[in-house]
Structure 1
Amino acid sequence: MGWIMSAVTVYVGLMVVMYLLQPILLYPGASPREEPEFYGVKGMEKISLTMDDGVILTHWFKAPARLGYPVVLAFHGNAGHTGDRLPKLKYLLEMGFGLLQVEYRGYAGHKGRPSETAFKADGAVAMSWLLEQGYAEQQIITYGESLGSGMAIWLAARYQVQAVILEAPYSSIAEVAQAKYWYLPAKWLLRDKWRSDLAIRDVTAPVFIFHGEKDELIPVALARRLLSLAPGEKQSVFFQEGYHMDLYDHGAEKNVREFLEEYVLGKLGEGKLGNSLPEAAK
């Protein structure tokens, strides 16, 4: 019986460690970033916004280069910062879209404690800032990578955005944790569950999902489940040789461009996105 008690003790200990360390595992943070120019893009503005609890977050923004083009509101994954992602997203600027890259509390030298509740509140402030600049909800595209896909979906469920782009998304972080830590009741231990599977049911905008079949961090089956729950127009690409962070190496840019040309630029040509830029974008 002694070995059984020892095994139980170890198992309970693992659950305790999992519960206590989950903020670090889910939100590892990132070191300070350089200026936007360091990452190969000139003309990005630094937008500092004060959150409800006094934390100041500095995001990166560039207005659309073409008349009437939407702004892409982008949320990166749980590791790194906006600087890491700017090089792969600069094609959006080249296409004429605007770009607002949101940075997280606890990342890139910012103060504040990361959490699902805090991230969502901070994301809502970024969305409000865009609306205050004169952009209509229909002139905003939400883009989410990995953890950030939860932010993109959550906002798209609350605002009438033009489109939603999801890179390596999940149905819920609880399911991701359960798949990784299959030997623990991980989904019950997790405080921040990020239920994108529930939020996406209220998304009316066209959705584009791209994911890697060999993703070892977020199982591709969770992205397929999320896709099945999207109620409106949707497209997807699943890269046979793709992992989690290399989807652009497999040609994802071409697929995103095609989606934007069909669901955004096509409607722009029909006059459905408005025909003027806000004062801040002129």
Structure 2
Amino acid sequence: MIKLSVNFKKIGRRLLRIIAFISILILCGYIFLYVKQERFFFNPKVLAKDYSYSFDQAFEEISIAVEDDVTLNALLFKTDSVSKGLILYFHGNAGAIHEWGERAYLYTENKFDVLFVDYRGYGKSDSFYEEESELYNDAQKVYDYALTRYKEEDIIILGFSLGTGFASYTASENNPKLLILEAPYYAWNEFIANVAPVPQSLINYEIPSYKFLENVKCPIHIFHGARDFLIKPEEHSKRLQELYPNKIDLSLIKGAGHNGIYFSKQYYDELKELLARY
């Protein structure tokens, strides 16, 4: 009996050590995420400054200064038809515009020019983000550039995934004629806390799309894959529409996942019909 008791004590001590070790690992993970979370949220493809873009259609490479020592790289694709205006495109969290630019035809075929911009640290753009305010500053500077070449009443803002928060902010601070959101999130910090085992309080970037949309004066159209298991439409797009039913039209793309919207005939047909109205 005495021997058995000693064994239980040993097992108990081992369990306590394991629990303590796991707790320390989790704590270290939280600290690392808090300090380096931008490296998790942003997944850029970095390109050499002398990288040469190649596409099946003509484009113009542009540099947009957002701070004295920070320039963002952008590509402007123009329609072969008489242009109805500009679509300002805020892309998702991965890759760079050498890949995102492959989608230009979706808009140029519908008589719109389209401007793709790489965020800081993406592609050939400078620097990297350290504060949420820098995201909004850059988005506004890009919009200001667009205003030097297009009338505001001819500008549509479009955001995909991560970019929907930037698009929503920009539309709330300006007067474009339409805001298009593809796979949007209700709020970035809430989304991250739901997909990763971290407290919401540790997420430095709020990016509250639901707040920005309150101040958007133009019509809003959302496209969301019905089978998007990353940013689930019922947790994000449907909640946004319920919050602003008089502003938002929602198109659920049947069978489409998070990155599969563009391959859907339903998406292309509905996008074409939407752009024809503007």
- Could you say which structure has the larger radius of gyration? 2
Asked if 1:154 corresponds to 2:169, the answer is yes
Question: CA RMSD of the aligned region, Å?
Answer: 2.1
Deviations 1:93-122 (A, max 9, x none): 122212111111101132211253222212
Hey, what does 2:243 align to over in structure 1? 229
Instruction: Give the secondary-structure state (helix, strand or coil) at the position aligned to 1:15.
Output: helix
Hey, what does 2:142 align to over in structure 1? 126
Equivalent residue for 1:22, pick from 25, 37, 41: 37
Equivalent residue for 1:249, pick from 263, 269, 276: 263
Once the two structures are TM-superposed, the CA of residue 144 in structure 1 deviates from its matched residue by: 0.4
Instruction: Give the secondary-structure state (helix, strand or coil) at the position aligned to 1:59.
Output: strand
Indicate conservation of the 8 Å contact 2:77/2:104, yes or no.
no
Indicate conservation of the 8 Å contact 2:153/2:176, yes or no.
yes
Indicate conservation of the 8 Å contact 1:172/1:195, yes or no.
yes
Indicate conservation of the 8 Å contact 2:83/2:111, yes or no.
no
Q: How does 1:98-137 map to 2 (within 5 A)?
A: 98-115=113-130, 116-133=132-149, 135-137=150-152
Hey, what does 1:270 align to over in structure 2? none
Indicate conservation of the 8 Å contact 1:205/1:232, yes or no.
no
* TM-score, with structure 2 as normaliser: 0.85
Asked if 1:219 corresponds to 2:232, the answer is yes
Deviations 1:126-155 (A, max 9, x none): 11112122x222211001011111111111
Find the aligned partners of 1:128 and 1:136 in 2 and give their Cα distance: 11
Equivalent residue for 2:178, pick from 163, 169, 191: 163
Find the aligned partners of 1:31 and 1:166 in 2 and give their Cα distance: 25
Letter matched to residue 252 of structure 2: F
Asked if 1:41 corresponds to 2:57, the answer is yes
Identical counterparts, % of pairs: 25
Once the two structures are TM-superposed, the CA of residue 124 in structure 1 deviates from its matched residue by: 1.2
Once the two structures are TM-superposed, the CA of residue 232 in structure 1 deviates from its matched residue by: 4.2
Find the aligned partners of 1:53 and 1:78 in 2 and give their Cα distance: 25
Find the aligned partners of 2:221 and 2:56 in 1 and give their Cα distance: 26
Equivalent residue for 2:87, pick from 72, 81, 90: 72
* TM-score, with structure 1 as normaliser: 0.84
Instruction: Give the secondary-structure state (helix, strand or coil) at the position aligned to 1:105.
Output: coil
Indicate conservation of the 8 Å contact 2:83/2:112, yes or no.
no
Q: 1:89 to 1:235 in 2, by over 3 A?
A: farther
Instruction: Give the secondary-structure state (helix, strand or coil) at the position aligned to 2:37.
Output: helix
Find the aligned partners of 1:100 and 1:160 in 2 and give their Cα distance: 17
Asked if 1:177 corresponds to 2:177, the answer is no
Once the two structures are TM-superposed, the CA of residue 188 in structure 1 deviates from its matched residue by: 0.9
Q: How does 1:51-90 map to 2 (within 5 A)?
A: 51-63=66-78, 66-67=81-82, 69-90=84-105
Letter matched to residue 196 of structure 1: S
Q: 1:162 to 1:198 in 2, by over 3 A?
A: same
Indicate conservation of the 8 Å contact 1:141/1:162, yes or no.
yes
Letter matched to residue 150 of structure 1: G
Q: 1:39 to 1:232 in 2, by over 3 A?
A: farther
Indicate conservation of the 8 Å contact 1:46/1:60, yes or no.
yes
| 169-178 or 208-217, which deviates more | 208-217
Indicate conservation of the 8 Å contact 1:173/1:194, yes or no.
yes
Q: Which consecutive residues of structure 2, in runs of 5 or more, have no partner in the other structure?
A: 1-12
Instruction: Give the secondary-structure state (helix, strand or coil) at the position aligned to 1:39.
Output: coil
Higher relative contact order structure (alpha carbons within 8 Å, sequence separation ≥ 6): 1
